[in-house]
Amino acid sequence: MKHKNGFLLIGSFCLGAVVTLLLSLIFPEKKSDSIISPSNYGEIASINQVYEALKSYHYFYEGDSQALIDGAISGMINALDDPHSTYFTMTDYENFVEHLEDTYSGIGCEVTTVNGYTMIVSPFPDSPADEAGILANDLVVEVDGENVVGQTLQEVTNKIKGPVNSTVTLGISRNDNPDLIYIEVTRKAIDQETVKSELITEEGQAIGYLQITTFGENTAQEFKTAIEELEGQGMTGLIVDLRNNSGGYLTSVVEMVDYILPPGKVITTIESRDGSSVSYETESEGKNYPVVTLINEGSASASEIFSAAMKEAGGYEVVGTTSYGKGTVQVSMPLDDHSSLKITTQVWKTPDNNWINEKGVTPTVEVEAPEFYNYYQVYLENGKELEFDQVNPAIANAQNILNTLGYSVDRTDGYFDDSTISAVKQFQKDNNIAETGIIDNKTASQLTLALRDKIRDKAFDTQFKKALEVLQNT
């Protein structure tokens, strides 16, 4: 492979995950000489004039000049209308560096900024966020009762993260519903396990299944090792699951595609603002068995490079729904005062020279996930139980879950009727819970766990089953 002399970030900001590799030598040694030139000195001077005027005359100025500087820089970043570019203050930067460790404390999800909202790109599989019922495209409106709309990505993530075993309650807007969903999440120490493998025997065929949760620094090697083990077990075809994988390192995805495709195939082309570009091409021998890639709306950046390369350069099938649509590349630039910029410096193109930004990668075989994938945990606000004659969005969700689990209810509009009582009682009986017909904390928890078990059961996974079918017919 070509051009492996650096790491570039092609994912969104991650709560506690490896997000970027700080690059040295980004700024020249004399930054003031390179930034301020005769052509732009007037612009810089006007910024200084505003700064001095606020310090000297603003009625509410309390002597915090660093706040003015931080605000000015943040304002410039915000003016770019680029949710993936961020300014970290000194304090924010210290918190950000914590995320570079292999193990971290957090809720485990990828986030970005959209129109002033912090949006969940995807929760990591089996993370606290995933277990709590947080979904891709959820908008974080409140954190522990505080409205965070309009706050910077770093400000919101700093409020969400915290010590192991502590809790945070997120007020979530989902599917433009005006009523917020309140989800309590217990923060945990999370290890970065990026590749999970399984050999599935189906109709005499040995199918390898790899779930890639993120493209970390060691993911390419984990990927290769897992494939070698599956090949040793007689694998004849491979499914690579990138659903809800929100990205990571460019070098990792390039190595992984190179390992699969034959030599001479373009993986991706990285383009700079000056018009220059670098294409990454495969050099390995590749694999001679069919490969199917699974994607959904939570698959972003590096996942999209992988799936687009498999589709366009490899001619392989991609199954699922259209991906997130992030076609930009970021680098992190440390500043002299220990603050930092993470800014978009390049864009990437698919092998067929398509730019998928805000469009996504379209699967070759489109399959929707089951409707119940969109349901979420039964959350009791302030521990208040749900019972007969109440009307509550949480009741509607519980009714949908009960129907999904085979406990029939007559309505799913959030009104707790007699049929809901009967269904709850039967569920409680089957799960050794006192048969009250009331949804208390224990019942709500068991409903959530039962739904999660069904979501994880591949027998109900329409997208996985289609990938398996496509692979068997290849």
- Which residues are annotated as catalytic? 301, 326, 330
Over the range 151-176, which residues count as b (16 or more CB within 10 Å of their CB) and which as e?
bbbbebbbbbbeeeeeebbbbbbbee
Q: Please tell me the distance from the alpha carbon of residue 324 to that of residue 318, in angstroms, as a whole number.
A: 14
Shortest CA distance to 305 belongs to which of 199, 225, 195, 212? 212
Q: How far is CA 379 from CA 169, 184, 186, 283, in A?
A: 11, 8, 13, 51
Give the bridge partners for 331, in sequence order: 343
Residue 438, phi-psi category: left (phi > 0), alpha (psi -120 to 50), beta (remainder): beta
Angle between the N-to-C axes of helices 441-456 and 418-430, in degrees from 0 to 180, rounded to the nearest 10:
70
As given in the structure block, the two tokens for residue 16 are 């506690």
Q: Please tell me the distance from the alpha carbon of residue 387 to that of residue 133, in angstroms, as a whole number.
A: 22
